[in-house]
Chain A
Amino acid sequence: GQQLNQSPQSMFIQEGEDVSMNCTSSSIFNTWLWYKQDPGEGPVLLIALYKAGELTSNGRLTAQFGITRKDSFLNISASIPSDVGIYFCAGHRDNAGNMLTFGGGTRLMVKP
């Protein structure tokens, strides 16, 4: 099945730096989700975006639903070591039942 284009694939940053990652698609989605997966664990939902242009924050995390409805962005400010993990975007279309389409993930590594 289709996967979303998520970039970058990996990032190695210094503690305290800000992080940006994005997800793009050739088609429109009605909902964008961002999950974080710690090593050896299941993904945990961070932020859900339901409206084009919506900007939502969760602590140091901020995500945006692109105006074109074909992309979404996740920013992490002032990174800390526990931000390490894999971040996945996922999109949902209203005509796709409850199915999600996932990005390939961004692996974040933080150097203390």
Chain B
Amino acid sequence: DGGITQSPKYLFRKEGQNVTLSCEQNLNHDAMYWYRQDPGQGLRLIYYSQIVNDFQKGDIAEGYSVSREKKESFPLTVTSAQKNPTAFYLCASSHLQGTWQPQHFGDGTRLSIL
């Protein structure tokens, strides 16, 4: 089935540790996005990428890093510089060619601090 796969579902981070969240899509979408969701709040954009080997900061990029070495993959690293990393992280993707199309989301990764 075509879709967006995020892993792991749950992740725990120790103080001072970097952790990487995986996002893979087999929809042949050009653009991929990472959002952070805190309880009772909407989605805030961390980073996005419209093409391989290129990405841009969103509204809350500090303490995060990404890479886009392959069209289907857009991993997010939560670095030790992110002092409040506990949140639900959502990956999304969308087409960029032709008529504008909405973003579709993966099932998320919940990150907690040990």
Q: Give me the interface of A with B, judged by CB distance under 8 Å.
A: 1, 3, 6, 9, 31, 33, 35, 40-45, 48, 88, 90, 92, 94, 97-100, 102-105, 107
B105 touches A105 (CB 8 A): no
Given contacts A41-B107, A41-B108, A48-B102, contact A98 B94 (CB under 8 A): yes
Number of B residues near A (Cβ < 8 Å) is 26
Min Cβ gap A71→B in Å is: 16
- Which among A35, A92, A98, A100 has the highest number of chain B CB atoms within 10 Å? A98
Q: Does residue B96 face the partner (Cβ distance < 8 Å to A)? A: yes
Q: Does residue B59 face the partner (Cβ distance < 8 Å to A)? A: yes
Q: How far is the CA of A92 from the CA of B103 in the complex (A)?
A: 11
Knowing that A3-B42, A92-B102 touch, tell me 11 more A-B residue pairs with CB under 8 angstroms: A9-B40, A31-B100, A40-B107, A41-B107, A41-B108, A42-B92, A92-B100, A98-B103, A99-B48, A102-B42, A104-B40
Q: How far is the CA of A100 from the CA of B94 in the complex (A)?
A: 11
- Listed from nearest, the 6 A-B pairs whose CB atoms lie closest are A42-B105, A102-B42, A1-B59, A104-B42, A42-B107, A102-B43
Q: Does residue B63 face the partner (Cβ distance < 8 Å to A)? A: no
